Structure formats: structure tokens, C-alpha cells
Amino acid sequence: MNRLQDFTFFSQLMANANMGWWKANLSTANYECSDFIVELLGLDQTGVISFEDFNKRIQKEEQLSTTVHSYGVY
């Protein structure tokens, strides 16, 4: 397969499995999200959510561990 075929295949696979992805951008402190995650979280079409806004969607008792992983601090 070539890159476009791979992309198409894995995009369809993830859509059929109701899965998405996100990529942490440590420079901007944002997550860049797939279409599935955008829809799931009700984000705008940019597909970007800040670490802070994402963290607000997480239960208080889980926020610290999530923030630690977001910023890559262990």
C-alpha cells in the first residue's frame, strides 16, 4: 500500500471501531484531535483543544495525573 491507501484504510478502520486519536503539541499546550474526537467532545472544526480546556472535562480526582502526562512531567 502507499501512504494515501494506508491513511484511507486506517481512517476507515478507526471510524468503524468508533475510535479516534489526539496529538499533544507541547509548544502550544494543545491537543490536535481526529474528527471522531472532535465530534465526541463537541469541538469546533479546527480540532484543537488546549490542555487546560481538556483537563476541565475530566473528573477532579483524575485531573492531576492527566495534566502530568499532558506536559510530559513524571
Using alpha carbons, list the distances in angstroms from residue 38 to 20, 33, 34, 60.
9, 6, 6, 22
Domain 14-70 has CATH 3.30.450: yes
State pLDDT tens for residues 1-16.
699 999 899 989 988 9
* d(C-alpha 44, C-alpha 40), whole Å: 11
Cα-flanking dihedrals φ and ψ of residue 42, to 5°?
70, 35
Q: Do 34 and 21 contact (CB within 8 A), yes or no?
A: yes
Q: In which residue are the cell numbers 491513511 written? A: 7
The mean-pLDDT minimum among 40-44, 51-55, 64-68 falls in: 64-68
* d(C-alpha 44, C-alpha 61), whole Å: 27
Q: What is the pTM of this model?
A: 0.70
* Residue 74, pLDDT score: 52
pLDDT at residue 35 is higher than 80: yes
